Copies of this chain bind each other. A is one copy, B any other.
Amino acid sequence: MALIVAYDGGPWKGFARQPGQATVQAELERALEELMGAPVRVRGAGRTDAGVHAAGQVVDLALPARCSIPLERMPLALGAHLPPSIVCWSAHRVPAAFHARKSALSKRYRYRIWRGRVPSPFVSAFCHTYAGPLDVPAMRAAAAALVGRYDVSSFAGAARRVSDPVRSVLDCAVQERGLLLSLEVEADGFLYRMVRAIAGTLLEVGRGALAPERVGEVRAARLRGRAGPSLPAEGLCLLWVRYAAHWGLPSPTDPGAWPPPP
């Protein structure tokens, strides 16, 4: 079974289970075990970091043999065992070979910046506040220069090494709606804190500290120090995960299939 799960990352130490920490994965496993009366392990599509939100996280799990809850009842049944900050949006039957992370074709994240002179009491928990002037067309030009298949080490958190740092950035877009600026990045995989480093780099461009035509050099340098700083966790949200149709999960474009983000 696969679940589409939405959460406010604020209260949680990230998605992945960690000893002695309150995490989304641990809460989901506890709720599933309470509901089904047997231990359940889940695997997530993305290991969102402490404080990062998800509208469309996907997890897979092996159902205990005696579970008889129909798929369509799963969101409400599981909801009765979950805190209000974690919601099961829908449940889907998937082939046994399905793996939430490995089967994913791509994931899309959104980083939001609130441009009000003062923070908003309604959206502060779900965005980064930046009040200075921003050159949005320059940010758009820089975002376009980040699309492609390349070694993304320039945007990888220093903490972790990966054997193959080449990823396909399928889309990188800047959208304005009132005082909210959204940066969306879709890729076939992400290194640690990659979207927050891309958002930090685009913010440097927006405030004039980095020329958009120099973003190609930053990208080519494969050195984390050349990009902008990682922006804080609260602005980041995993929007959805794309899978091939035969896995039986909804497409990102199916209306109503994925939870509306903040």
Residues of A bordering B, CB below 8 Å: 6-8, 53, 55, 75-76, 79, 84-89, 116-124, 126, 178-179, 256, 259-262
Complex Cα distance, B87 from A112, in Å, reads 20
Copies in the complex: 2
Given A84-B124, A124-B84, A260-B118 contact (CB < 8 Å): no
19 contacts between A and B (CB under 8 A): A6-B120, A6-B122, A7-B121, A8-B122, A55-B122, A75-B117, A75-B118, A76-B117, A76-B118, A79-B118, A79-B119, A88-B118, A89-B118, A116-B259, A120-B259, A120-B260, A122-B260, A123-B260, A178-B260
Residues of B within 8 A of A76 (CB): 117-118
Chain B hits for A7, CB < 8 A: 121
**Which of A75, A85, A87, A88 is packed against the most chain B CB atoms within 10 Å?**
A87
Inter-chain contact B122/A86, CB cutoff 8 Å: no
Who on chain B is nearest to A9 by CB?
B121
Residues of B within 8 A of A118 (CB): 75-76, 79, 87-89
Q: Given contacts A75-B118, A178-B260, could you give 20 more A-B pairs where the C-beta distance is less than 8 Å?
A: A6-B120, A6-B121, A76-B117, A76-B118, A79-B118, A84-B119, A84-B121, A85-B121, A86-B121, A87-B120, A88-B118, A89-B118, A116-B259, A120-B259, A120-B260, A122-B126, A122-B260, A122-B262, A123-B260, A178-B256
A53 to B260, CA, bound (A): 21
CB of A121 within 8 A of CB of B75, answer no
User: In the complex, what's the smallest C-beta–C-beta distance from A233 to chain B, in angstroms?
Assistant: 15
The 8 closest A-B pairs by CB, nearest first: A122-B262, A8-B121, A75-B118, A85-B121, A87-B121, A87-B118, A6-B121, A79-B118
